[in-house]
Every structure is written in structure tokens, then in C-alpha cells.
């Protein structure tokens, strides 16, 4: 989703901004732009592009032949919310004078009423975006005598919504002013440079001394100067971020795309996530958890929230928490929780699951749960992300940076981490029988090898995908632990291959959706040997009787299931509770193959963003 990078000082801030934009690219974007204050301090230089996948190259080409020396520069990748993805809606946006520029992530909710006021007072807007409003509001404050920082502070008082913004003004050529509400923003300075970024990774080449802005703080960033104020204009000390890791530019490492590379990194992601947390004897330790054994024992209910694939991980975790830790557990879509006025009884532990740690729906759900008295944990792959910073404790996955927009290794790492947490909670609550912690730990620790065995069969999954790449109607069915796997498989197919794929509880099909089944329909079923296998196979028969072609995920060596299906995605047998980690992988490969056969860009599927920072 949208990304912000701003650099001031340095001999070539424009080059640093271009590099930052490339690091932001993975978030998904449909247009991009740059603005810089010309060294004369009289004017702004701006370039924007809206070419799917090629905007940053266009900016680079323009920059090569383009401006003279620049002072403060801002760059932005945009994922359209208000206004189509076009060059005129791309950021940065300017005021009427062309001397104030703004880049923005998030949404200004009251933009319509603010736009109407601006129109009445004669401002000329040139885009359909909510962002441009801010340029004009700031212009009005500057005309009334404010400097840039003061103008932004005053404007924040009237803005509603979730956003991060960065602005420059031709009259203050070395200054970038940045502010945020909910959407993340980091700032930093050295004696010779200043940086503002929505992602830590994009800021690191300028400085590692970074600070996270809190809600409603306004920062003035210039070489040798970092001043942060709250909405009342009082100086505040920003929170320092501990950047212990180095950011390597993600490379495809010989794979045709990031998605296949990341699929192959899944054994590593599972192993790294468990490292030092689950030991073979069954002992568990989760360092950043922030809850001691007594607090864990006091847990009366667990509420898991997330979006998309992260929500599917929550659905799996619910089973492990109930069966191992004997604690009531529910999973809910984050964007729904916030608006349904949930009653959270005392002792509720809420776990917000988010690869990015930034998804605004999940962040709001986490805040809502806390407001209603729950202890909150964030399960995320991004160290120091907004959710990690706000939660009472953190469950970090260790999948490494995920570049492909569709989550693969981060989803698998979420499943593994949630199950490790379920084991940890079960031990604290004393709900496991003797010997069980060791057995379960063994199953978890064996998962990396099992995924490795799955990947040895990759070509089988890919060729099955290619065989069905022309089909237009897919139904994914599963029961119990198989259901979230089916949901994840269907999501992967939809987002990558752009074909209809409906996921349904297998037993529920006959209550309506079965009327859609006719020859040509392809049903993909999770048919591993669980206690519900017979019931699943009865559902398979119902589909076949109506002319569907039925493919299924089945255990290695299970000839009977293979005979009953039209095609199999074979996996090594695992116990039911950990099986989603293994069963989801062939479905990722299947979706990948369908998408590739259709000529789609698997790393950057249309309309999708890696990080969803708007509601």
C-alpha cells in the first residue's frame, strides 16, 4: 500500500529517495511520484508516473535528465483509494501556488467537507484525492503567517482519519515536516541529513538512529535538527527505535519470482520461528511475550483477530488453543470486530495477527480489544511495527522479509508461532497429559522437514495447476482443520489467478451452494486422514455425482483416497492439529501454477497491496 520516503541534506537526496522508493515497492502500488525543493529555494520540481510495475523506472529516467541540485525531497508510492490510479492523482500533491507539496498514506475521512470549504474560498484543486486537501489547508495557514511545521500542526486539529504525511515548502528548502495518526512513520537525523519514512527499511541507508512518531506528533526534520511537538505545540521526546537488524535488498536468488522463492523458504521460516522457543522435551519459552506464567493461567478466553491469510491462521489457532490449552478461543475478522461492540469478559487475551504489523483494521481491532479491557498481543513478522509497539507483548514470526504480495512463508510462520503459543499456554495452564508436551513439541519441530518433503513434490502440484488453468469455477472444501486450509487455498487462487474460488465448509454445501455444482466445476478438497475423513469423502461423492471434477490434498500412501479423486496433491501424513502447515503448501503451488499459466504477475497481482493501511 502507499509508502513514504523523504530525504533532506546529503549530496544527492534525489538518489536516496529513488532508492527508498525501490525498497517500498514491495508494498504494492499503482503510481509513484517525487518532489524536490530546487536548490535556489524558489520552486519545487515534481515528477509523477502511473504505469503498472514501471512507475519507478519512469521516475528514474526523468530524474536522470531532470532537475538541477535539490534540497529536501519526498517520494511516494500510491495505492489508489480516493481517485483512480492516474498520474494526476499520484502524489506528491501541490497547493495553488505550487510551493507546498504533500505525500500521504491513509485516509482523510472528512475530506469532502474540507474540500467544499476550500472550493468556497477559491482554492483550485487538480486531483480527485483526499490528500490534495492538506496541501491547500497548509497553504491557507502559511498565508496566515504560519511556518510549515506550525501550519501542519494547525491542520491536524481539523483532520479526521488515519494517516501519515510528509510535506515540504519551497521557502524552507532543507526542511521536511512529518506527522502521523495511526499509520506508521519513522524519522531520523544526522549532522548532514534527515529522513522520514513509512518503513524502517527505506530509511536505513540514511541513518540507523531512527525514532517512531506517536499519534498526533509533528516532526521537523532537517540536517542536524529533529524537533517533535504534540498537537498543543509542546516539545516531546520521540521514542527511539532499536534497529538491530540490517536490511538486505531482497533478491530473487535464481527463482523466477519472489513468490516461488518465498514458497521455498517455508521450511526455514518454520524452523527459525520455533528456534529457542520450543525444545524437543516440550519446554517452551517466548521471549517478548510480556505475560508471566501466572498471567497466562489467568487467561479465561482468547480472541484472535486478523485479515485475509492472517485471519485464516487465527481459525487454525482456535483449534489448537481449545484442544491443547482447554481455553475458549474465537477467531474474528479484524474489520468486523471493531464495529460490533464486542463484550470482552475479564481475563480475555486478544491476539492480533498481522504479517506487516501495520494493517489498519487489525490495529484498530487490537486497540478496541484493549479499550474493552483485554490484554493484547501482536503476532507479527515486522520488528518494531506499529502493532508490535502498541501491544502488551509480541509473538514475532521469523519468516524474513516477504516481498510477494500474496503471503506464503509469513502465513506458515504465523501458523507455527500460534501453535507454539498454544503449547506454551497449555503448559502454563497444566492442561496437557504427561508426555504430551514432548510429543506436541516433536510434531511442531518436525514441520520444517515435512514442508521440505512437500516441496520435493512441487512439480506434481504445478502440473496439476497447469492442467486446470483454463477452469473458471473452483470450490474449495474442508472440515474442521481442513476448512481454514481450504479458505487459504481459495484466497491464493482468487488473488493470483483472478478466477472465482469459493471456500466452503464441506458439510454445508448441501444447504445451498451445491446447486452451483455442474460439469466443469472443479472442487478442491482437503482429504487427509482425519477423524472426519469419511464424512469429507461422502461430501466428495455428492460433488462427483453432480459432474464436478474433484481434486484433493491427500496423505502419502493413501491409495484409497487417491482412487476416489480425479487428481491428488500428496502430502506427508501429520497429526491433524499441525496439518494445516503442511497442507497449505501444495495449494499455494497450485494457485501459483494456474496464475503463471494465465500469464499473471504472481508477485504483484492486480488491485492488491502488500500492506493495507486503509480501512
By the rule CB under 6 A, 354 interacts with ligand F6R: yes
Q: Nearer to ligand F6R by C-beta: 27 or 424?
A: 27
By the rule CB under 6 A, 612 interacts with ligand F6R: yes
- Interface residue with ligand F6R among 189, 359, 528, 579 (CB under 6 A) is 359
Region of 311 please: left (phi>0), alpha (psi -120 to 50) or beta: alpha
By the rule CB under 6 A, 406 interacts with ligand F6R: yes
Report the site for ligand F6R in 440-499 (rule: CB under 6 A): 491, 495
Is residue 300 packed enough to be buried (19+ CB in 10 Å), middle (13-18) or exposed (0-12)? exposed
By the rule CB under 6 A, 407 interacts with ligand F6R: yes
The Cα–Cα gap between 276 and 22 comes to 34
Establish whether 124 is a catalytic residue. Answer: no
- Interface residue with ligand F6R among 31, 77, 299, 310 (CB under 6 A) is 310
By the rule CB under 6 A, 403 interacts with ligand F6R: no
The active-site residue out of 2, 155, 307, 583 is 2
C-alpha cell at 28: 504494492
Q: Are 589 and 461 in contact (CB under 8 A)?
A: yes
Report the site for ligand F6R in 232-261 (rule: CB under 6 A): none
By the rule CB under 6 A, 362 interacts with ligand F6R: yes
Establish whether 583 is a catalytic residue. Answer: no
3-state secondary structure of 79: coil
Say how many CA atoms lie within 13 Å of 59 toward its Cβ: 35
For ligand F6R, the nearest residue by Cβ is 308
- Interface residue with ligand F6R among 77, 348, 355, 530 (CB under 6 A) is 355
Q: Quote the least distance from Cβ 397 to ligand F6R, whole Å.
A: 10
Q: How far is CA 162 from the centre of its chain?
A: 16
DSSP conformational letter for 98: S
By the rule CB under 6 A, 501 interacts with ligand F6R: no
Strand partners, 522: 474, 549
Q: Are 219 and 196 in contact (CB under 8 A)?
A: yes
Binding mask 136-175 for ligand F6R (x = CB under 6 A): ----------------------------------------
Q: Which stretch binds ligand F6R (CB under 6 A): 83-91, 273-281, 305-313, 459-467?
A: 305-313
Spatial CA neighbour of 184 closest among 160, 168, 200 = 200
Q: Nearer to ligand F6R by C-beta: 55 or 310?
A: 310
Residue burial 200-224, b: 16+ Cβ < 10 Å; e: rest = bbbbbbbbbebbbbbebbbbbbbbe
By the rule CB under 6 A, 182 interacts with ligand F6R: no
Q: Which stretch binds ligand F6R (CB under 6 A): 68-76, 351-359, 449-457, 563-571?
A: 351-359
Q: Are 111 and 155 in contact (CB under 8 A)?
A: no
The Cα–Cα gap between 350 and 305 comes to 7
The Cα–Cα gap between 544 and 559 comes to 18
The Cα–Cα gap between 579 and 106 comes to 37
Residues in contact with ligand F6R, total (CB under 6 A)?
14
Q: Nearer to ligand F6R by C-beta: 278 or 602?
A: 602
Q: Which stretch binds ligand F6R (CB under 6 A): 124-132, 208-216, 304-312, 368-376?
A: 304-312
By the rule CB under 6 A, 217 interacts with ligand F6R: no
Say how many CA atoms lie within 13 Å of 532 toward its Cβ: 18
The Cα–Cα gap between 551 and 377 comes to 38
Q: Quote the least distance from Cβ 539 to ligand F6R, whole Å.
A: 26
- Interface residue with ligand F6R among 127, 183, 266, 309 (CB under 6 A) is 309
SS3 of 528-557: CCCCCHHHHHHHHHHHHHCCCEEEEEEECC
By the rule CB under 6 A, 561 interacts with ligand F6R: no
Q: Quote the least distance from Cβ 339 to ligand F6R, whole Å.
A: 18
Q: Nearer to ligand F6R by C-beta: 129 or 356?
A: 356
Q: Quote the least distance from Cβ 596 to ligand F6R, whole Å.
A: 16
Q: Quote the least distance from Cβ 208 to ligand F6R, whole Å.
A: 24
By the rule CB under 6 A, 588 interacts with ligand F6R: no
By the rule CB under 6 A, 378 interacts with ligand F6R: no
- Interface residue with ligand F6R among 138, 307, 428, 464 (CB under 6 A) is 307
Say how many CA atoms lie within 13 Å of 208 toward its Cβ: 6
Q: Nearer to ligand F6R by C-beta: 14 or 307?
A: 307
By the rule CB under 6 A, 385 interacts with ligand F6R: no
Q: Are 444 and 284 in contact (CB under 8 A)?
A: no
By the rule CB under 6 A, 308 interacts with ligand F6R: yes
By the rule CB under 6 A, 8 interacts with ligand F6R: no
Q: Which stretch binds ligand F6R (CB under 6 A): 2-10, 44-52, 350-358, 521-529?
A: 350-358
Q: Quote the least distance from Cβ 107 to ligand F6R, whole Å.
A: 16
Say how many CA atoms lie within 13 Å of 108 toward its Cβ: 25
The Cα–Cα gap between 153 and 69 comes to 29
Q: Are 444 and 343 in contact (CB under 8 A)?
A: no
Q: Quote the least distance from Cβ 353 to ligand F6R, whole Å.
A: 7
Q: How far is CA 403 from the centre of its chain?
A: 10
The Cα–Cα gap between 538 and 177 comes to 63
Residues serving a catalytic function are: 2, 610
Residues within the interface to ligand F6R (CB under 6 A): 307-310, 354-356, 359, 362, 406-407, 491, 495, 612
Amino acid at each position: 500500500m502507499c509508502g513514504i520516503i523523504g530525504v533532506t541534506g546529503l549530496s544527492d537526496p534525489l538518489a536516496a529517495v529513488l532508492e527508498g522508493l525501490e525498497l517500498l515497492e514491495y508494498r504494492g502500488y499503482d503510481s509513484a511520484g517525487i518532489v524536490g525543493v530546487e536548490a535556489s529555494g524558489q520552486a519545487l520540481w515534481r515528477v509523477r508516473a502511473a504505469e503498472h510495475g514501471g512507475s519507478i523506472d519512469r521516475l528514474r529516467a526523468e530524474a536522470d535528465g531532470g532537475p538541477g541540485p535539490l534540497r529536501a525531497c519526498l517520494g511516494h508510492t500510491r495505492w489508489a483509494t480516493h481517485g483512480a490510479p492516474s498520474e494526476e492523482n499520484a502524489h506528491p500533491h501541490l497547493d495553488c501556488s505550487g510551493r507546498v507539496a504533500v505525500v500521504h498514506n491513509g485516509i482523510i475521512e472528512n475530506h469532502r467537507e474540507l474540500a467544499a470549504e476550500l472550493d468556497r474560498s477559491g482554492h483550485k484543486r487538480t486531483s480527485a484525492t483526499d490528500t490534495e486537501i492538506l496541501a491547500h489547508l497548509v497553504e491557507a495557514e502559511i498565508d496566515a503567517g504560519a511556518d510549515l511545521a506550525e501550519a501542519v500542526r494547525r491542520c491536524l486539529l481539523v483532520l479526521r482519519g488515519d494517516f501519515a504525511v510528509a510535506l515540504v515548502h519551497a521557502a524552507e528548502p532543507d526542511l521536511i515536516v512529518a506527522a502521523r495518526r495511526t499509520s506508521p512513520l519513522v524519522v531520523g537525523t544526522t549532522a548532514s541529513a534527515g529522513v522520514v519514512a513509512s518503513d524502517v527499511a527505506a530509511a536505513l541507508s540514511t541513518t540507523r538512529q531512527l525514532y517512531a512518531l506517536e499519534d498526533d506528533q509533528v516532526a521537523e526534520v532537517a540536517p542536524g535538527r529533529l524537533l517533535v511537538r504534540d498537537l498543543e505545540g509542546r516539545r516531546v521526546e520521540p521514542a527511539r527505535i532499536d534497529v538491530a537488524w540490517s536490511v538486505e535488498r531482497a533478491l530473487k536468488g535464481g527463482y523466477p519470482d519472489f513468490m516461488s522463492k518465498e514458497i521455498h523458504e517455508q521450511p526455514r521460516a518454520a524452523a527459525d520461528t520455533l528456534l529457542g522457543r520450543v525444545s524437543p522435551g516440550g519446554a517452551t519459552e517466548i521471549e517478548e511475550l510480556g505475560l508471566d506464567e501466572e498471567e497466562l493461567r489467568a487467561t479465561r478466553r482468547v480472541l484472535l483477530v486478523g485479515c485475509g491469510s492472517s485471519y485464516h491462521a487465527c481459525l487454525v489457532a482456535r483449534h489448537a488453543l481449545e484442544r491443547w490449552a482447554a481455553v475458549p478461543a474465537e477467531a474474528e475478522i479484524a474489520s468486523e470486530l471493531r464495529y460490533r461492540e464486542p463484550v470482552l469478559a475479564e481475563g480475555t487475551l486478544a491476539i492480533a495477527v498481522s504479517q506487516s504489523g501495520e494493517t489498519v483494521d487489525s490495529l484498530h481491532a487490537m486497540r478496541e480489544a484493549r479499550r474493552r479491557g483485554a490484554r493484547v498481543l501482536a503476532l507479527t513478522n515486522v520488528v518494531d511495527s506499529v502493532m508490535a509497539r502498541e501491544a502488551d507483548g509480541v509473538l514475532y514470526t521469523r519468516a524474513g522479509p516477504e516481498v510477494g504480495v500474496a503471503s506464503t512463508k509469513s502465513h506458515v510462520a504465523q501458523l507455527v508461532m500460534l501453535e507454539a503459543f498454544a503449547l506454551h499456554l497449555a503448559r502454563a495452564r497444566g492442561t496437557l497429559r504427561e508426555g504430551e508436551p514432548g510429543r506436541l513439541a516433536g510434531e511442531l519441530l518436525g514441520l520444517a522437514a515435512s514442508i521440505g518433503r512437500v516441496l520435493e513434490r512441487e512439480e506434481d502440484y504445478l502440473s496439476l495447476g497447469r492442467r486446470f488453468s483454463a477452469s473458471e469455477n473452483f470450490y474449495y472444501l474442508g472440515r474442521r482443520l481442513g476448512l481454514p486450509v481450504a479458505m487459504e487455498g481459495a484466497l491464493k487462487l482468487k488473488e493470483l489467478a483472478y478466477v472465482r474460488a469459493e471456500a466452503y465448509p464441506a458439510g454445508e454445501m448441501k444447504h445451498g451452494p451445491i446447486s452451483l455444482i455442474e460439469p466443469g466445476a472443479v472442487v478442491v478438497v482437503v482429504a487427509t486422514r482425519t477423524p472426519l475423513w469419511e464424512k469429507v469423502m461422502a461430501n466428495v461423492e455428492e460433488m462427483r455425482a453432480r459432474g464436478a471434477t474433484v481434486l484433493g490434498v491427500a496423505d502419502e500412501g493413501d491409495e484409497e483416497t487417491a482412487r476416489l479423486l480425479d487428481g491428488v496433491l500428496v502430502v506427508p501424513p501429520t497429526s491433524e492439529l499441525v496439518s494445516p502447515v503442511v497442507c497449505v503448501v501444495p495449494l499455494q503451488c497450485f494457485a501459483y501454477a494456474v496464475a503463471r499459466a494465465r500469464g499473471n504477475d504472481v508477485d504483484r497481482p492486480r488491485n492488491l497491496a502488500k500492506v493495507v493501511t486503509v480501512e
